[in-house]
């Protein structure tokens, strides 16, 4: 998790003010659509996956009426059908990259992901070849300014809910849980009246590789190309996010 929370902090802060807002909305709408069609219908009271998707949409400041339209459309007969697919490969310098997509055209997505890898010094691997390099964990991003809890007391409460680790970074508290405790942790936060800015099952690298800053920037540029693709929901990698790299990225922003 080295550098994970600090980089996530920066991404959340940037996300409110840059061109990626539209992509964040597209990602949130797809998450809502999948939750409605595949996980229990349009009622968030009985569909915890949808409830979480709506919370994530609010976390990227999606307007309430846009969220409601997305739920309504997803529950209609003419709703788009999305498939969740993933891809694994290596970028330059041996950095493993895991790409999660939500798509209505798998052939298009395969071609796009393969092209991004090949044009940027990487190569697409076979599914399952890199999964062992990552561990799926629940990751909850909580805005500290909205907390009415003492942090130490809150952490003790969350440990009861299945929290395994915490990272305290500037505006955000990152809370980690085991994959199997994601629902339990979500319920615990609801009981505490805490709505996370983001709550996802993420793939956390078991080991990371530190590169020279210029080489690391090359990897981050590759990751950004994946994230700019409309079919891509999440990108995970084994690059070590160092303070020096973050400073360089902030300079370039």
Is residue 60 included in any domain, yes or no?
A: yes
223: nearest Cα among 190, 249, 196: 249
Assess whether pLDDT exceeds 70 at residue 66: yes
| Structural domain contains residue 46 | yes
What is the tally of structural domains in the chain?
1
Categorize the per-residue pLDDT at 5 as very low, low, confident or very high, splitting at 50, 70 and 90.
Answer: low
pLDDT tens-place string over residues 184-229: 999 999 999 999 999 999 999 999 999 999 999 999 999 999 999 9
Q: Residue 163 domain-assigned?
A: no
pLDDT at 9: 54
Domain annotation covers residue 44: yes
pLDDT band at 88 (very low <50, low <70, confident <90, very high): very high
Determine the structural domain holding residue 67 and report its residue range: 4-74
The answer to whether residue 246 scores a pLDDT higher than 90 is no
> What CATH number has the domain bearing residue 63?
1.10.10.200
173 in a structural domain: no
Helices (H), the chain: 4-15, 21-38, 48-59, 64-74, 106-119, 151-160, 182-191, 213-228, 243-252
For the chain, the average pLDDT equals: 89
What's the rounded Cα separation, in Å, for the pair 86 and 183? 23
């Amino acid at each position: 998790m080295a550098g994970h929370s600090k980089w996530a902090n920066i991404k959340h802060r940037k996300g409110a003010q840059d061109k990626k807002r539209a992509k964040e909305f597209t990602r949130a709408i797809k998450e809502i659509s999948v939750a409605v069609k595949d996980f229990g219908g349009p009622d968030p009271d009985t569909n915890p996956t949808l409830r979480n998707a709506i919370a994530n949409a609010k976390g990227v400041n999606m307007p309430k009426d846009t969220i409601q339209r997305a739920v309504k459309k997803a529950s209609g007969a003419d709703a788009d059908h999305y498939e969740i697919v993933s891809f694994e490969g290596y970028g330059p310098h041996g950095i493993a990259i895991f790409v999660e997509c939500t798509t209505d055209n798998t052939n298009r997505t395969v071609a796009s992901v393969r092209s991004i890898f090949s044009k940027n010094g990487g190569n697409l691997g076979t599914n399952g070849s890199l999964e062992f390099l990552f561990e799926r964990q629940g990751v909850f991003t909580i805005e500290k300014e909205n907390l009415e809890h003492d942090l130490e007391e809150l952490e003790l409460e969350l440990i009861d809910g299945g929290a395994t680790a915490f990272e305290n970074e500037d505006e955000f508290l990152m809370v980690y849980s085991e994959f199997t405790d994601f629902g339990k942790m979500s319920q615990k936060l609801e009981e505490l009246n805490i709505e996370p800015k983001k709550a996802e099952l993420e793939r956390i690298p078991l080991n990371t590789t530190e590169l020279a800053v210029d080489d690391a920037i090359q990897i981050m540029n590759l990751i950004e190309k994946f994230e700019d693709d409309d079919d891509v929901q999440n990108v995970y990698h084994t690059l070590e996010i160092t303070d020096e790299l973050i400073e360089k990225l902030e300079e370039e922003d």
